[in-house]
Amino acid sequence: MHSRTNYWSNTRLAERIRGVKKPKSETWDGWEEWRVAAAATHKIRYWIAEEGLTHLQDFVNWPLDKILDVKYYINNRWVTKAHALTAHKDHLQPGGWCDLGNRFLPCLFDSLVDFVEIELAWFHLAWAEDEDRKKYDAPFWSRGIFHWRTWRCPQAGIDHLLWESGLIYNEDMGVDPNDPLYGTLTEQAKEAVEKLFLYNWYLNVYLKRPDPMDVSGWSESCDKRREKNGGKLRLGSSKNESDEEREQTMACLRELRRIEEEYFEEDSEMMKRLVSIRNSLWS
């Protein structure tokens, strides 16, 4: 079935036909209980509101749906490139070589950034009130049938995650006040907290890390070698080095290895955390 933001089965007309109020949100079990109860109350009216209106909407929207199918194919194939994980050109230069093992993190996390700043931004805008939409100054092609998934708004994506992060189990979720879960964060909220953490880690920690060569002193050591050897870097020669210089060189290399291992372990941990929430990365 074609994906829509407006379903006739959720309109006021459907509400009148059905004769049973439809909840705004429910748990999986709650929705099943509501469907059974609503169908038992007015079987025919329930079918008209839930099934009949849907079939009618599919019939009326068939020409537009076919046009949108073509648009979505073009979008998915050449704009969003939903078949691939790609890094931003500032992080992995197109045309340059990068070993497979070094592609994983930038491809995964740049895709996460796109997910937050494009997909979740659009999702937040699609469900926001008109007044809330104005603050993002979104262009006409950021929503509706004009939407091409190219509008980027970090703040809208972050605002959506902040909203999700505050979701708690309550009566609207079908949870009784006496239930131990009542008032605690939902799984959706916990996953949103993790997404926001990983998003911020990548942009504000990983991409802003100092170069291990610089902080270890190895870059400075190499510069001194070039200066001493007429502009040539002779890493394998220590004939002209004093014992103190050789010890400084080894100290720089030890520190370099330590920092690189520390970065590697942190990167591996963050990739594992991102992969562990992959089932929640949809919009």
Q: Using CA atoms, how far apart are residues 230 and 97, in angstroms rounded to an integer?
A: 31
The model's pTM: 0.81
Q: Do the beta carbons of residue 160 and residue 123 sit within 8 Å?
A: yes
A 10 A CB-CB count for 23 gives 11
pLDDT in tens, 91-119: 999 999 999 999 999 999 999 999 999 99
pLDDT at 267: 98
Length in residues, the chain: 283
Tokens coding 153? 């708004």
More confident residue, 27 or 8: 8
Name the DSSP class of 251: H
More confident residue, 212 or 142: 212
Name the DSSP class of 210: P
pLDDT in tens, 61-94: 999 889 888 887 887 888 888 899 999 999 999 9
pLDDT at 118: 94
Residue 1 clears pLDDT 50, i.e. is over it: no
Among 121, 191, 123, 133, smallest CA distance to 158 is for 121
Q: Between the CA of residue 215 and those of 68, 85, 102, 255, what are the distances in Å? A: 53, 31, 21, 9
Neighbouring-strand partners of residue 168: 185
Alpha helices in the chain (DSSP H): 12-18, 28-41, 43-47, 53-60, 62-74, 100-114, 121-127, 130-134, 154-165, 187-204, 212-215, 218-228, 243-276
Q: Between the CA of residue 62 and those of 8, 43, 50, 252, 265, what are the distances in Å? A: 14, 27, 18, 68, 52
pLDDT in tens, 138-197: 887 776 666 677 889 999 999 999 999 999 999 888 789 999 999 999 999 999 999 999
The mean pLDDT of 132-141, rounded to a whole number, is: 82
Among 205, 234, 239, smallest CA distance to 221 is for 234
Percent of the chain whose predicted confidence (pLDDT) is above 90: 65
Percent of the chain whose predicted confidence (pLDDT) is above 70: 93
Q: Do the beta carbons of residue 59 and residue 65 sit within 8 Å?
A: no
CA 128-131-134 angle, to 5 degrees, is 90
Among 74, 100, 96, 69, smallest CA distance to 85 is for 100
pLDDT at 187: 96
pLDDT in tens, 234-258: 665 556 677 887 888 899 999 999 9
